[in-house]
Amino acid sequence: MKTQQKKARGKAQKKTGAKTRGKAQGKTQGKGQGKAPGAEKAGKAGQAWVVVLAVVTAALLAATARSGGGGDGTEGDRDAKAAASTPRATAPGALAAQARRNLLTAPSLHVTVTDRSEGAGRSAPSAMDLSLDREGDCSGTVTFGARGSASVLRRDDRVWLRMDAALWRARVPGAAGRALAERIDGRYVTGPASDPTLKDLASVCDLDALHAQLRADARDETITERGGTRTLHGVRVVPLTGTSTDGSGTHVTLYVTASGTPRLIEHTRTGGRTDLTTRYADQGAPVQVTQPQASDTVEVSRLGKAKGQG
């Protein structure tokens, strides 16, 4: 009986394997037939674009320290009410908490990141400059050291991304990169924020997600000291210093306005392999997004099409 069962299973496996191989061969032959060289070249360029977009998006998300999703603004509203009714603190930890809370209530923000840490400029950005608001609009640039830079825009439900020639060469070497650069020709790649290849990039403009990371920073840092008043970026500030609680020995400094409503102007993390400076400005200022001209854009949906079709 066992022998018969083994034979039956063997026959079934052979039939299934034959069918699978037949289908795979049919698909391969079907894909290979009737494809013009130009279409194949464009297809490879389109695939390269998807890879590059994934890399740049991941880098942007890392630069803004996305923590895995933001809230719906409810917590920020509660913070705003608390901030409005709380007198200015004097203890370093309490003052730092107030400054962070006030930052969380801002409906818009200008964030500038400078990263001199080990490895910055290669897989991760060395600098970022981004203005964003609660509506999801944003405008900014991300730089990978000598490897080049990219510009990102979002307005309403549309996203634009433009990479310079140096970044194309660094991200897509060889013939595929040259074909893609020729296809895009210095223009913005654009599409709806819901497009599968652009939706992650659109999420970079999520102010609530940045707020979530600020809350995470507050949990991971202990502020214990207060320094003397000084001027930073034309603003009178007091430095509040402490350490990271993750065991890395990272030294933390928050520069907070010296009088009036506590506002966080700059946040630095140094020590070990880390050297990161984040500057906050224009809290509550309107975000200006200049939409590129149609002649300076190429639709993301056209990147996989044969050259000459758009």
Beta pairing partners, 114 = 127, 277
Residue 263 exposure: Cα atoms within 13 Å on the Cβ side:
17
Return the closest-CA partner of residue 112 out of 97, 96, 125, 98: 125
Q: CA-CA distance, 143 to 48, in Å (whole number)?
A: 20
* Residue pair 52/171 in contact by the 8 Å Cβ criterion: yes
* Residue pair 171/50 in contact by the 8 Å Cβ criterion: no
Dihedral angle, C-alpha 175, 178, 184, 189, nearest 10 °? 70
Helix axes of 207-220 and 74-84: crossing angle, nearest 10 degrees? 60
Q: How many CB atoms lie within 10 A of CB 27?
A: 10
Residue type, 227: G
Pairing verdict, β 188-192 and 297-299: parallel
- Render each residue's pLDDT in the chain as its tens digit; 310 residues: 434 444 444 544 444 444 444 444 444 444 444 444 444 544 454 455 555 555 556 655 555 543 223 333 334 344 444 544 578 998 999 999 999 999 988 999 999 988 888 766 666 678 889 999 988 899 988 888 777 888 889 998 899 988 887 777 777 777 777 777 778 888 998 999 888 877 766 777 878 877 887 888 788 889 999 999 999 999 999 999 999 888 778 999 999 999 999 999 999 999 878 888 999 999 889 999 999 999 999 998 887 543 333 3
Q: The pTM is what?
A: 0.70
